[in-house]
Structures are given as structure tokens and as C-alpha cells.
Structure 1
Amino acid sequence: MEEEFEFEFNEDAQNSVERYEEMIRNEDQYFFDAQAFEYIIDNYIEKNDPVKALQVIDYALNQHPYAAVFLVKQAQLLLFTNQVDRAFAALEKAEMLEPSEADIYVLRGNIYQNMDRHSEALENYEKALTLAETTDEILLQIAYVYQNMHDYENAIVYIKRSLEQNMENKDGLYELAFCYDILDKQEESIQFYQEYIDNDPYSYAAWYNLANSYHKLELFEKAIDAYDYAILIKENFASAYFNKGNALVQLDKYEEAIEVYKQTFEYEPPNADTYCAIGECYEKLEQMGEARSYYKKSVKMDPKMADAWFGIGVTLNFEERYFESLHFYKKALDLDEENADFWFAMADAHYKLGQIEESIEAYYKVVEFNPVDVEAWLDFSTVLYEQGKLVEASETMAEAIKNNPDAAELYYRMVAYMFALGKSQEGVDYLENALQIDPQKHYILFEYLPQLSNNSTIVTIISKYIK
């Protein structure tokens, strides 16, 4: 029965459109009932021809001047063609004719929302809520306004109300995940999705969002299980495969991750991100040829993929092709010039090539863009120390400690520099600090300057902390 009705509907619609176009060709005036006009207008909207649709509305309003439905459609099209003032005017007329029509207030709310006039948008949506038969979409619109106001708590309230009415609304589930993410309330989000799944165990979107929340809490095993459920329900869910691959990477399961990343290609065309992710897995497995080939596929697809350019450099560096690696690090830095990891790799390659000044310049960039990278500070000061720049090495270490006051490694290194500069009392002060933070790491001191293990003052102080 349903198919037969759809056929009649299509036939009626088609006849109406043909009659209308015949009327235009004949420059005549035919009469159409309101339903026929709606068919004709929708036909042009579907064909993405707002100008013709607006023309039909003019005819419709001539023949049916009290039908608010045409004024609402007119407002929609005027809004689509950026004629905001005229859209407002059409809605005003529609409201006078039929003040209980919810669509009037929804559309007016949309306009105010686009203009960032939040309170007026909310006022109209609230009015629409009292008039509409189904309100899940309106509740979602209200949530979007609160999001734009950065009031994510209220946004969550309205998204949940929307989902209570329509469990199938995937947009609502994703928006809710976004709000929980912004508020960093992953535990609450997990609780919500678990309750949601109890009511609707076949919602792939709920499983997917649950998995993402587990992922953000670094509960990777649980995340993988939830991604698997999402994939079980929706086999072609490429994003779930990709994120599952990311979770496997976090567990150092690189071979499995590669397989899962490759599965995305069955359900969507390969993209630069996935190629790059596969490249990183091969890099971690030290299969540098494979890694490089995937990184190259990535940049071929998207030349702005900084991580992939960098990855090519890393594979060359691994093969001790330092000079070649610099070229690719530079390409990565051209795209992302404040990336401390890229500068760190540059500094290291220059150092290995004996280009000490360039290496020092690059290290300055590393610690400027990531002052909490303890490893970088240690390497940077080592380069200075090896060049006989003892004072600069100690000044660099002082700066490092200022940025990382809880990193014992830096204090132990500073002890070595102070003793090398003949400032033994200052060295002892730094040693006391280091031992208070982490006495177990005292071996770092002797690794760096083995001769200090014969220094009785140092040995005595350490023995107070190490039983």
C-alpha cells in the first residue's frame, strides 16, 4: 500500500510541475490548490533553484493569500539567499495569519542564532517548543545556542531532553560527546552512554562515543571493546576502525593497528591521516622502508601533512642519512613552525652532522615552544657543555629548572655543572634539592661526571638519603 501511495504522490507532483511549467511557457494563469503549489516549490528546492522556488511562492501567495505555509517557505528561501530583512518580514506576516505555527518561531530562532543574538533565538525556540508536535530537533537547536554561548552545562541538559524523545538522533549523541569533552567530564559521559546503551543496545553511535570517552581516560582495552561493538552493529563504520587503530597504538600493538587502519579502506577511500598513521606504526616496528612508503602516500594525497613529511625525515635519520632527513624536517617545519618535536629532530640531525651552531639555534626553538621538555633541556645543555660553554650550559639548566621545578634530573645535571665550574657549595645545594625530589635518580650524576663518585662530600650527602 505504501509504495502505491508514494507512486501517486510522485505522479501528482510531476503533473503539478508540468502544468506549472506549461503555464509559464504560455504566459497564462492556471489555478493550483495549496498542495500542488507545495509540490512545485519543493521540486525547485530539491533541484537547488531558489530563484524559481521564490517565483512559485509569489504565484502561490496570489492565489492563497492566507496560507502561512507559503510565507514560511518564502522566509526559508530568503534566508538561504541572504535576504535576512525580507525573511523577517515574511515571518511577521505568517505570524499574523497563523500564530500557532511552530515553524515560524523555529525559523526566526535560526535567523537570530546565525546573528549571534542568543537571547532572542532562545525566546523563539522556547515558543516553538510549546506549539510543535515533535520537539527533539528544537531542543537540539536550543542546545546549539547554549554551545555558542559556551554554556555547555545547559547545552547538555537540552541534548539529553532531545535524546529522551528521539533515541535515533545521532547528531545529539555526537554533540553530547563534544560538550562532555569540553567540560572534561568523561566519567559522566561514560555513565550516560552506558545507560543509553541499556535502553538501546544497538546504537552504534552510543557505543562509539562510549569508546571515545574510555579512550580519553586512557582505558584503551575498554575503548577497543566498545569500538568493536560499534563495528559489529555498523560494519562500514570507518571512524570506529580508525579510532580503534589509535587505541591499539597506545597499547604498542602496532601490527594489529596496521590491520585495523587498513580495514578503513574497505569502507571509505584512503586518506592522508590513515596513511600517516600506518606509517607511524611501521616506524615504531622499525620497518623503515614500509614506513617511508606510507608517509609518501600520505603527502602525495595531502602535501600539507606535516607529520608525514616529518615521518619521512625520521626514517632517514634512523638509517643515519642525517643530511637527507634535514630536508624533510624543514618541509614539516614550513607547515608547522612552532612544533617543538620537529625542532628537536632538526637540532639532533645538525648535531650529528657536526653543525653545532645550527644545532644550538634549533635547541633554542625547542625549549621556546616546549619549555617542559626535560629531555630537550638536558640535550641542549650537553651540546653547550661539550663546546666548553660551561657558563651557558649552567644558565640553560637554571632556565630549565625554572620551567620544570619538580624534575630531579635537571638538578642532578646542575650539580655536575656547578662542580665543573668550581662552585662546589652551590653544587651541594642543588644536590640537596635533587635528593629531596627523587633520591633514586642520583646515579644520573655519576653517569654524567663519573669522577664525582670519588667526591667524599657528595658521597656523604647521598648516603643520608639512600639507606
Structure 2
Amino acid sequence: MPYNAYEDENNLPLEKFESMLKTNSVYFFDSEDFQEIIHHYLDIGKIALAKKAIKIGLEQHPTSSDLKLLKVEVLVFENMFEQAEKLLDEIQAIESSNEEIYIQKANICSKQDNHVGAIELLTHALALCEDESSDIHSLIGMEYLFLDDYLSAKQSFIKCLEEDHEDYSALYNVIYCFDFLEDFDGAIDFLNGYLDKNPYCEVAWHQIGKQYMNKKMYKEALTSFDFAIYSDDSFIGAYLEKGKVLEKLTRYNEAIENYEITLELDDPTSFAFLRIGMCHEKLGNMELAKKHYYKTVHEDPLLDKGWIAITDFYYNQKNYQKALYYINKAINIDSQNVSYWKRSAEINMKLHFYEEADISYQKTIELGNYELQTWISWADIQIKLGEYQSAIDTLLQAIEFYPEQSELQYRLAGIYYTLSNSLNGSYHLKNALRYEAKGIKEFEKMFPDIFSRKSVKNIIANFKKASI
């Protein structure tokens, strides 16, 4: 079909291209227009339309390296590396000094986990680059991050900022590297230097405030967040961080004020409601605390901290039935949350619902909570239920994690003696005494009848003599 000579200069290239697709006509575009169209489709994730534009573009401009490079970009996105490399070699034979060739080759290396090779190619691209090269420095920094080389990554991102001081993505990455290296002082020095040149950068003030928070320098952190707000009075993150600092300083009413500002600036967040609730609880404003905890779980039912807050609120008031009601609601939403099951077990214990507590502790362990107290509490429930063999199994599992923990050994001793297995009872009692002799008081409290036995008292007496 011949090209239509129709050209309307008032029509944007994208509108004209989409009109062409709808009418099945063919209009002529220059290569720059095609690039604009293709970038638009790539940016919004319409890969099929981008490929169509590339195909038509190369039919109209078969020698355009820029369009070929966009085709390479799509091939790499679709993991068609062999075809992409072949096309790159063709472009390189004609334009060996085009840095985009090496950037795309580096992208292929990166996708194949050859990050060292990617850095070499990007460094070569950097040498060819005549204009600003902050994007290439950023790509090099990301490759170093893949290699866990945070020092080199940091230097690359700093070079980005030297070329473009408003590249906030690079600024965040620099601070990320400092944080990973736990170099808080280095981060503060760097940010102070950056702020000397960019005194009204709210992002830098926000970041330096967070560094001061890491060092528990709350006065300095508060000042930093104030400067961030002064630089941009709609900066929600600064108000939230300022609220956290004020909480640390026990200035709860002021913290609430800052959290409430964030609710006015944008849509309410569950985090702000949660913090306001916690502040009110610390101030003794229980009704207001409860109200904000309800708002938290309503705003985001998947936020575990919200459900935990409202459960703990009732637990601390000894309203265990209400606490159980809310933790059960939380478990219905997310049955794989170990914190929910742990609280469920503790609440059921308080209500003397031992069988339910037994199930909750079992689930807590299954989900990977291997804390000593979890094992002990679970075993104690099984002892209360008279499930001695289950308690033995639980305690023996716990000993694999805590082989020298006397509390486990004393319990095993008591259970074995209860089951008339004196041999194992004495073995674990001797182990317990060796690890922590003072624990004998807890053993006496848990197993008074066993403790009063003559054979047990002899073991304890012999241990004390040997210890003198």
C-alpha cells in the first residue's frame, strides 16, 4: 500500500499513529517520531504496540540505529538474548562509538548474572559518552549492588549526584549503601556536605534526620525534620518521622499533631492511625486509643501491627475475651502470621483454654518461632493437660536448640519421675543442676511431690557437696 501524503502538523505523532492503526492506512513518520511513539508504549507497558511501531519504523527507516536499539531493548526484555546480541553486533559494525550499544550489551550480561562483565561494558560506554553520564554511573552502581560491593556502588551513585544534584534516586541509593555499611557518621558527613550546596533539599534533610535517629540523637533529628518541612510543608514523610522523634521524647501530644497533619495532606494511612492510637494509649486516653486502633484495621485489614495493637490493648486491660475475639479475626485474615498465633496461645492461657493454647503454641512452632519461652510455655500446657509424652517430645525438640538450658532439663526430670522412669529422671535432674543449680526452686514449685522424694533430695544433696 502506498504511503498516504496526508500530513496534519497539528496532529501529535502518537495520535496520528493510532489513527493509522485504526484506519489501516499507512502514514509516514520521521525516525524521531517513531522513537517518541515507541518510548510511550514501553513506558506504559504496551509491548505489543511498541513492537508494531518498531516494525513499521524500521520498514520506513531501515538504517536507523536508534530504532534498532529500541528493538534490542524489547528483545532483551523478552529474554531473547541471542537475537539481541546479533542485532547489536550489526549496529556496532557501523557505529562502534555508540555508547548505547554497550549499555544494551551490559543489560544482557546483567540479566545473565554476569555483573562483572556488565560493569566492564558500562565503563566502556562511559568512556564513549560525551554528555552527562549520570545514567551510566547509576547503572554501574546497580551492578555493584548485585555484587554486594556497597563501597563501589556508593561511589558510583555519588558520581551521579556530582553530575545531577537533583537525582534523588541516586541520593537514596547513596544513603542505602551507607546504611548497609552501618556507617551512620559517614552518611551524616556526606549529607551535610550535600546540604551545604543544596540547603533547601527536603529529601536530604529527611535522610539526615533518619541518620540522627539511628544514632539516637533525637534533638538533631527533630531539627532536621523541621528543616525538611520548612523546605516542603507538604512532605508527609517528614511529618511522620518528626512524629516518631517526638514519641521518643515522650512529647505525645505534639507527635499526634504531626501525625494528624499527614491525614489532612493526603489520604489517611493506617500507619498514622496506629501511631496516633499508641500515643493516646500512653497518654491514658483509652477511648481515643481504641478509636484509632479500629480505624487502623479498617483502613488496612492486612496490617498486622494494627491487629496486634488492638489485641494488646484489650490484653493489657485484662479483657481477655475481647483480646481473643480480635486475635481470632486477625488469624482468619492471615493464618500464617506467627505473631498472631503466639498471642492467641498467651490469651488462651489466661482464659484457661488449655487445649486451644496447645494448638496455638504448636502452630507458633510450626511457623518458625523457636524462642525458648515458646517451647517452655507449650510444654507447660501439655503438662497441665496430662499429655506427658507430648511434653517430653516438645522438650527434647527444644533441647536441640537449647542444649544447656536448665529449665528444659528440670521439666524433663519432673515428667520422667512422674512416669516412674527414675533413670531418665535422675539423668535430666543432674544435667539441670549442672547447668543452673538455682533453678531447683522452680522445679520444687512445679513438681512438689517429686521434689520431696528421698532419692531426689539425695541427688540434690550430693550435687551440693560436690560443688563445695
- TM-score over 0.5 (shorter chain): yes
Alignment of 1:289 onto 2:287: yes
- Cα distance between partner residues in 1 of 2:401 and 2:251: 34
User: Would you say the 8 A contact 1:136–1:166 is kept in 2?
Assistant: yes
Aligned pairs for 1:45-444 within 5 A: 45-46=39-40, 48=44, 49-62=49-62, 65=63, 67-79=64-76, 84-132=81-129, 133-181=131-179, 184-186=180-182, 188-201=183-196, 202=199, 203-334=201-332, 341-363=339-361
- SS of the equivalent of 2:208 reads helix
- SS of the equivalent of 1:269 reads coil
Structure 1 residues 249 and 17 mapped into 2: Cα distance closer, same or farther (>3 Å)?
Answer: same
Report the Cα offset of residue 354 of structure 1.
Answer: 2.3
- Cα distance between partner residues in 1 of 2:246 and 2:292: 18
- Cα distance between partner residues in 2 of 1:193 and 1:87: 44
Report the Cα offset of residue 372 of structure 1.
Answer: 7.8
Structure 1 residues 230 and 357 mapped into 2: Cα distance closer, same or farther (>3 Å)?
Answer: same
- SS of the equivalent of 2:97 reads coil
Report the Cα offset of residue 393 of structure 1.
Answer: 9.7
Equivalent residue for 1:3?
A: none
User: Would you say the 8 A contact 2:184–2:214 is kept in 1?
Assistant: no
Structure 1 residues 434 and 395 mapped into 2: Cα distance closer, same or farther (>3 Å)?
Answer: farther
User: Would you say the 8 A contact 1:292–1:311 is kept in 2?
Assistant: no
- Cα distance between partner residues in 2 of 1:220 and 1:392: 50
- Cα distance between partner residues in 1 of 2:369 and 2:187: 38
Report the Cα offset of residue 137 of structure 1.
Answer: 1.4
User: Would you say the 8 A contact 1:189–1:210 is kept in 2?
Assistant: no
Deviation digits for residues 326-351 of structure 1 (CA, Å, limit 9, x no counterpart): 23213334555565543343233212
Give, as a single letter, the amino acid of the residue that structure 2 aligns with 1:167: H
Alignment of 1:38 onto 2:8: no
Give, as a single letter, the amino acid of the residue that structure 2 aligns with 1:123: E
- SS of the equivalent of 2:165 reads coil
Structure 1 residues 130 and 361 mapped into 2: Cα distance closer, same or farther (>3 Å)?
Answer: same
Structure 1 residues 50 and 143 mapped into 2: Cα distance closer, same or farther (>3 Å)?
Answer: same
Unaligned runs of 5+ in 2: 1-6, 419-424, 448-459
User: Would you say the 8 A contact 2:14–2:37 is kept in 1?
Assistant: no
Report the Cα offset of residue 138 of structure 1.
Answer: 0.7
- Cα distance between partner residues in 2 of 1:242 and 1:235: 12
- Cα distance between partner residues in 1 of 2:120 and 2:192: 33
Report the Cα offset of residue 446 of structure 1.
Answer: 13
- Cα distance between partner residues in 1 of 2:247 and 2:376: 28
Give, as a single letter, the amino acid of the residue that structure 1 aligns with 2:32: E
Equivalent residue for 1:453?
A: none
- Cα distance between partner residues in 1 of 2:393 and 2:18: 87
Deviation digits for residues 204-246 of structure 1 (CA, Å, limit 9, x no counterpart): 2222222223333444443333333222222222223223333
Structure 1 residues 399 and 71 mapped into 2: Cα distance closer, same or farther (>3 Å)?
Answer: closer
- Cα distance between partner residues in 2 of 1:253 and 1:385: 46
- SS of the equivalent of 1:200 reads helix
Deviation digits for residues 111-166 of structure 1 (CA, Å, limit 9, x no counterpart): 33234332332232111110112222111111111212333333223223333333
- Cα distance between partner residues in 1 of 2:14 and 2:395: 82
Report the Cα offset of residue 371 of structure 1.
Answer: 6.8
Further displaced range: 18-27 or 81-90: 18-27
- Cα distance between partner residues in 1 of 2:390 and 2:77: 63
Further displaced range: 319-328 or 389-398: 389-398
Report the Cα offset of residue 38 of structure 1.
Answer: 0.3
Structure 1 residues 293 and 179 mapped into 2: Cα distance closer, same or farther (>3 Å)?
Answer: same
Unaligned runs of 5+ in 1: 1-10, 450-456, 462-467
Give, as a single letter, the amino acid of the residue that structure 2 aligns with 1:42: E
Give, as a single letter, the amino acid of the residue that structure 1 aligns with 2:107: N
Give, as a single letter, the amino acid of the residue that structure 2 aligns with 1:17: P
Give, as a single letter, the amino acid of the residue that structure 1 aligns with 2:253: E
User: Would you say the 8 A contact 1:306–1:331 is kept in 2?
Assistant: no
User: Would you say the 8 A contact 1:210–1:226 is kept in 2?
Assistant: yes
- Cα distance between partner residues in 2 of 1:21 and 1:367: 60
- Cα distance between partner residues in 2 of 1:222 and 1:195: 16
- Cα distance between partner residues in 2 of 1:324 and 1:138: 57
User: Would you say the 8 A contact 1:23–1:29 is kept in 2?
Assistant: no
- Cα distance between partner residues in 1 of 2:27 and 2:320: 80
User: Would you say the 8 A contact 1:307–1:332 is kept in 2?
Assistant: no
Deviation digits for residues 335-380 of structure 1 (CA, Å, limit 9, x no counterpart): 5556554334323321232213333454566677787867767877
User: Would you say the 8 A contact 2:58–2:68 is kept in 1?
Assistant: no
- Cα distance between partner residues in 1 of 2:387 and 2:74: 71
Further displaced range: 307-316 or 383-392: 383-392
Deviation digits for residues 13-72 of structure 1 (CA, Å, limit 9, x no counterpart): 756839976995695775x6x5xx30343145336541453145224424xx2x423322
RMSD: 5.0
Give, as a single letter, the amino acid of the residue that structure 2 aligns with 1:200: L
User: Would you say the 8 A contact 2:150–2:181 is kept in 1?
Assistant: no
Structure 1 residues 221 and 342 mapped into 2: Cα distance closer, same or farther (>3 Å)?
Answer: farther
Identity of aligned residues (%): 24
